[in-house]
């Protein structure tokens, strides 16, 4: 009987080396300490993805069938910024969509500053203004299709709007009314 167990030692060493390099790159720019990064080895559409985080742990998924070397820096940075946001927020868990959007806007703003990523605004978001603004107060446990499926796009557009008016470090202290105000400016 022939079989293989993955990741192999060399695959795991490569992943650890790339993650260590990414953490070292951002260790002085991101305010997180005593955290863990867990790996998930899985075959899926992405080369690498951030699966979940809490204030001290990130779960990163890596696709062993792909070369994830280029993506790993942004994924690790996203994980570190997610943990940083949660350590600075006045709430200890995300309960409402406005909090989720604030967190991702923070991550997008900080990634723009640290990794020079572009911020774009999806043109069709304007058509959904009322739905977006009304849905901000919805409980995250309730399914809001628009906010659930387009959180990243909405957050990125909001981040672009916020950049000129608020420092990213202030975003974790924003209230729902602040997020709504920036949403109104966006549209």
- Flag whether 57 is in a domain: yes
Question: How many separate domains does the chain show?
Answer: 2
122, 153: one domain: yes
pLDDT recorded at residue 120 = 87
Whole-number pLDDT of residue 58:
96
Q: How many CB atoms are closer than 10 A to CB 80?
A: 26
Do residues 73 and 115 share a domain? no
Same domain, residue pair 77 and 113: no
Record the pTM.
Answer: 0.92
At residue 106, the pLDDT reads: 98
Would you give the DSSP letter of residue 52?
E
* Domain identity same for 112 and 44: no
* 2 within some domain: no
99-150 pLDDT, tens digit per residue, is 999 999 999 999 999 998 889 888 888 888 899 999 999 999 988 999 999 9
Query: What letter does residue 97 receive in the DSSP assignment?
Result: H
Quick one: which of 99, 87, 108 has its CA closest to 168? 108
pLDDT at 117: 87
SS3 160: helix
Whole-angstrom Cα distance, residue 96 to residue 47? 29
- The beta strand positions in 14-88, using DSSP E, are 36-41, 48-53, 57-62
For residue 6, the model assigns a pLDDT of 82
Let me know whether 120 and 171 are in one domain.
Answer: yes
* Regions of the chain short of the pLDDT cut 50: none
Rounded-to-integer distance, Cα 39 and Cα 59, Å: 6
How far apart are the C-alpha atoms of 70 and 12, rounded to whole Å?
A: 16
Q: Which domain holds residue 25?
A: 9-88
State the DSSP string of 120-141. ---GGGGGGHHHHHHHTTSBTT
pLDDT of residue 133: 92
């Amino acid at each position: 009987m022939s079989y293989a167990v993955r990741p192999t030692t060399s695959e795991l060493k490569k992943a650890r080396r790339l993650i260590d390099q990414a953490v070292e790159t951002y260790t002085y720019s991101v305010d997180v300490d005593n955290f863990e990064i867990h790996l998930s080895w899985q075959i899926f559409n992405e080369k690498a993805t951030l699966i979940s985080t809490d204030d001290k742990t990130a779960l990163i998924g890596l696709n062993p069938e792909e070369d994830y070397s280029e993506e790993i820096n942004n994924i690790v940075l996203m994980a570190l910024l997610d943990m940083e946001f949660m350590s600075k927020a006045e709430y200890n868990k995300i309960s409402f969509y406005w909090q989720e959007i604030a967190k991702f806007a923070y991550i997008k703003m900080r990634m723009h500053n640290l990794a020079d990523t572009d911020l774009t605004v999806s043109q069709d978001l304007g058509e959904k203004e009322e739905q977006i603004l009304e849905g901000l107060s919805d409980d995250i446990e309730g399914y809001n299709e628009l906010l659930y499926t387009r959180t990243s796009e909405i957050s990125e557009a909001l981040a672009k709007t916020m950049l000129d008016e608020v420092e990213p470090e202030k975003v974790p202290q924003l209230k729902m009314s602040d997020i709504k105000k920036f949403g109104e400016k966006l549209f």
